[in-house]
Structure 1
Amino acid sequence: MMRLFFVALVALLLGAGVVALIDSEPGYLLVAYSGYTIETSLWIGLLLIAGIVLALYAALRLLQRVLSAPGSLVFWANSRKRRQAARLTSRGLMNFIEGNWKQSRRQLRRGARHAEAPVFNHLMAARASFQLEDRSQMRSDLEAALASDSQAAAAVDLVQAEMQLQAAQYGPALASLDRAEASGSRTPLSLRLRSKAMLGLSDWEGLRALLPDLQKHEVLSARKLARLRRETALRLLKVAAGDLGDNTVTALQRAWKQTPADLQHDDRVLHRYLSLLANAGATEETINLIARILKKRWDPVLVEQFGRLPGQNPQQQLALAEGWLVGREEEPTLLLCLGRLAARQRLWGQARDYFERSISVDPRDEACAELGRLLAASGDYLQASKVFCAGLALQDRGLPELPLPENAVAKDRLITVDISAGKKH
């Protein structure tokens, strides 16, 4: 209430002041044009000018409303153009889906002229140009998309990166993604495209750094993400193993420490690391690591690898492996491992026994090859040939059934192997 009273008081004072000013200084205004003159006081002239300006403004506003009204001719014409643009855009998209690239591009461009959001027309036209392998026109369409909407820079770069990836242009695709993320932010689409570009460039270090973001934004399914994490770890180990000289073992150990803990327990990753470590010359370290792992959990693949490694103390290595026999007397992989470790100590009879036990439990071509080699070196060529033949048969190369001549040699039942039943006779 007090505020309204104050405003009214100020208005009265200003009005009184203006009236007093007009009475004291009325002024004089003369307008002459083509023989006509208009004479009036300054204040009346100013009021007339203000009235004319307001009248013109009101007339223009009224005209604008009339022209933009639903029943006006201009409104009808603009509406018709927009409907036509929508039909062209719809047909262009349909032709794009059906693979009619040239027709799609033409319709999309025509529809962009009066479309409410022409940027989408230009982006889809660029995709059609890409399918037509018209690179110059594709760039033109992308430039038109950016010109139609300056805030669509990130979208334009993402579309360009996607098409560059389809053309196996991985380096330029990464550059486009860098621009898109600089003008916007990392989105699931940009992360997905970046992972594809890095895969194309075999940038495993970059992929390892990108994996947390891929997991955070749920870019890939759990199965695909797990496969990518495993593949990245395997590739990084291979890269580390490629170091020459004395740095190979150090590089492998460093890569292993950088491997996530859950992947260190993944069988494929663990087996690859131990294999690469052994090939790099770190035999003793590999033997000790396998022994520690087998103490916690049984892994036949590591047992087989343990038997292949020539340690500095073969007697201790054999004794350790024999301790694993408790409760595993019928484990064919362990028996094969023990046979190799016994042969490494020149315990020929013990090695032969382990090989034969392994074959009797589960006939395998590798065990047959080891036993055949031992028998041949011992001069027992007949038995060696039988074992070698059994091993070849185990490889199952799909030989057809054919009649064979009878063996006139007396059959020695020492180590004939029934392949189908997997038993020793």
Structure 2
Amino acid sequence: MRGFFLLALIALLLGVGLVAMIESEPGYLLIAFGEYTVESSLWVGLLLIAVLVLVLYAVIGTLARLLASPGTVRFWATSRQRRQAARLTNRGLIGYIEGDWQKSRRQLQRGAKHSASPVFNHLMAARASFQLDDPDQMRSDLEAALREDIQAAVAVDLTQAELALQGGKFDRALTCLERVARRSNSPQVSRLRCKALLGLGDWEGLAELLPTLRRQGALPDKELARLERECHLRLLEGAALDLGDDTAASLKLTWRRVPPALQQDEALLRRYVELLEKVGAEGEAAKLITRVLKKRWDPALVNRYGRLALEKGRRQLSQAESWLGKHGDDPELFLCLGRLAARGQDWQRARQYFERSIQAGPTEEACAELGRLLLASGEHNLAAQYFNTGITLQGEALPELPLPDAVGAEDLVPEDRRLDGEGGDRAGRGA
């Protein structure tokens, strides 16, 4: 407190001394410039000069700070351009979503010049050019994106691949994706490669890609399982094409490449058995069916076993009859046994098995087989009944319609086509 009073006293004394000096020696100051002159006392002139110096200093300092701060005119102009670019980009995206490709491309291209992310503008403009079916401009937009940032090469290739896939150009898409895979083998790249390979029908390539898709989790489990099943099914069907003597060997080799878990898939296993039969490897098909049925019962495979024409038919029939102990109520097994007995020309046993199959559970095939056997045996009426039952089992039953009685039916059949009676005798004598 004492120091404050001391300073105030010194300032007061200096002020009084200065005022006394100004009154005793006011001085004289004259400033002349051309025809203009300014006269003042020395002290007032010095005060004005000091004030002018302070004002100039303040103005210069303010300008210097303005030029060095973010609030400069240059920064304001740049910010305005970027805001305008952002508005153009937003409008371009809205136009793209709304399907106004022409307007969208124009706004995206205009906004790219001052955009904070011009690569994005050019990539979206390329998509709009694709929708406009303008491949030249699309390539130009993609090249512009690459010029903006060389690090965007992966994004550019991915965009080009996606557009090629949409256009059905799977070869071009796969070329781009293989180039990308050397730099970034991301799940998105794998998904797009999967689409390209599917489009090309390259099942070998897809089989090689499946482990990567599973490891990356690029596809949902259900979709991946469906894709894996379809892939190996197509490979099996391709191997079963007519390749001469090597067809069966090629088919078996392809089956060995199927993952063990997938070899247990019922649909795939059944198809493989059908293909073995198709290429003439009935023995291999029979062995496989026997091995599978020891582990789990599959009526569809039992049906297929009855269709196989093996050289050792009696052994085949004995093998099938050995299954009656555990599966004596399965209509498919009786159908299989009936066919095997018929192939061995044991007609009575075949008829019994077909009848038992129908008793256990009537099916279209069993009715047709029994009807065919009865027709060949001369039992036409009974055969017709089973054929009619089989037709009913196919789907919707026939509608109720009036039918001719026995007397009226005779008029429908020409005399030379009757099976018995006077007409039939005449037909026989004519023959």
2:151 aligned residue: 151
One-letter amino acid of the structure 2 residue matched with residue 169 of structure 1: K
Q: State whether structure 2 residue 98 is matched by structure 1 residue 116.
A: no
Q: State whether structure 2 residue 138 is matched by structure 1 residue 138.
A: yes
Q: Using a 3 Å threshold, how does the CA distance of structure 1 residues 324 and 407 change in structure 2: closer, same or farther? A: farther
One-letter amino acid of the structure 1 residue matched with residue 157 of structure 2: D
How many residue pairs end up in the alignment? 347
Q: State whether structure 2 residue 92 is matched by structure 1 residue 95.
A: no
1:330 aligned residue: 329
The 2-side partners of 1:135 and 1:398 are apart by: 58
CA deviations 1:235-285 (Å, max 9, x no partner) are 110111114111001101110111110111111111111111111111112
Contact 1:67 1:75 in 2 (8 A): no
One-letter amino acid of the structure 2 residue matched with residue 69 of structure 1: S
1:363 aligned residue: 362
Q: State whether structure 2 residue 407 is matched by structure 1 residue 394.
A: no
Q: State whether structure 2 residue 75 is matched by structure 1 residue 75.
A: yes
Q: State whether structure 2 residue 181 is matched by structure 1 residue 181.
A: yes
Contact 1:109 1:121 in 2 (8 A): yes
- TM-score, normalised on structure 2? 0.78
How big is the shift at 1:210? Answer: 0.4
CA deviations 1:150-197 (Å, max 9, x no partner) are 110111010000000111101111111122223x21111111110111
Which has the higher Rg, Structure 1 or Structure 2? 2
The 1-side partners of 2:246 and 2:322 are apart by: 35
The 2-side partners of 1:198 and 1:407 are apart by: 65
The 2-side partners of 1:344 and 1:214 are apart by: 49
2:255 aligned residue: 256
Contact 1:214 1:220 in 2 (8 A): yes
How big is the shift at 1:327? Answer: 3.1
Aligned-residue sequence identity (percent) comes to 56
The 1-side partners of 2:140 and 2:327 are apart by: 72
The 2-side partners of 1:408 and 1:299 are apart by: 50
2:411 aligned residue: none
How big is the shift at 1:398? Answer: 5.8
The 1-side partners of 2:237 and 2:334 are apart by: 31
How big is the shift at 1:66? Answer: 3.8
| Structure with more helix by fraction | 2
Q: Secondary structure at the match of 1:327?
A: helix
CA deviations 1:350-369 (Å, max 9, x no partner) are 11111111112222111111
Q: Using a 3 Å threshold, how does the CA distance of structure 1 residues 344 and 64 change in structure 2: closer, same or farther? A: farther
Q: Which consecutive unaligned segments of at least 5 residues does structure 2 have?
A: 1-61, 409-431
Contact 1:68 1:75 in 2 (8 A): no
Q: Secondary structure at the match of 1:330?
A: coil
The 1-side partners of 2:222 and 2:400 are apart by: 44
One-letter amino acid of the structure 2 residue matched with residue 324 of structure 1: W
1:125 aligned residue: 125
Q: Using a 3 Å threshold, how does the CA distance of structure 1 residues 226 and 64 change in structure 2: closer, same or farther? A: farther
How big is the shift at 1:393? Answer: 1.6
1:201 aligned residue: 200
One-letter amino acid of the structure 1 residue matched with residue 333 of structure 2: L
1:247 aligned residue: 246
The 2-side partners of 1:359 and 1:249 are apart by: 36
Q: Secondary structure at the match of 2:116?
A: coil
CA deviations 1:344-398 (Å, max 9, x no partner) are 1111111111111111222211111100110011111111111111111211256
The 2-side partners of 1:167 and 1:263 are apart by: 34
The 2-side partners of 1:119 and 1:65 are apart by: 35
One-letter amino acid of the structure 2 residue matched with residue 328 of structure 1: H
Q: Secondary structure at the match of 2:243?
A: coil
1:51 aligned residue: none
Q: Using a 3 Å threshold, how does the CA distance of structure 1 residues 97 and 64 change in structure 2: closer, same or farther? A: farther
Contact 1:278 1:286 in 2 (8 A): yes
Q: Secondary structure at the match of 1:83?
A: helix
Contact 1:233 1:259 in 2 (8 A): yes
- TM-score, normalised on structure 1? 0.79
1:277 aligned residue: 276
CA RMSD of aligned residues (A): 1.8
Q: Which consecutive unaligned segments of at least 5 residues does structure 1 have?
A: 1-61, 410-425
The 2-side partners of 1:181 and 1:292 are apart by: 43
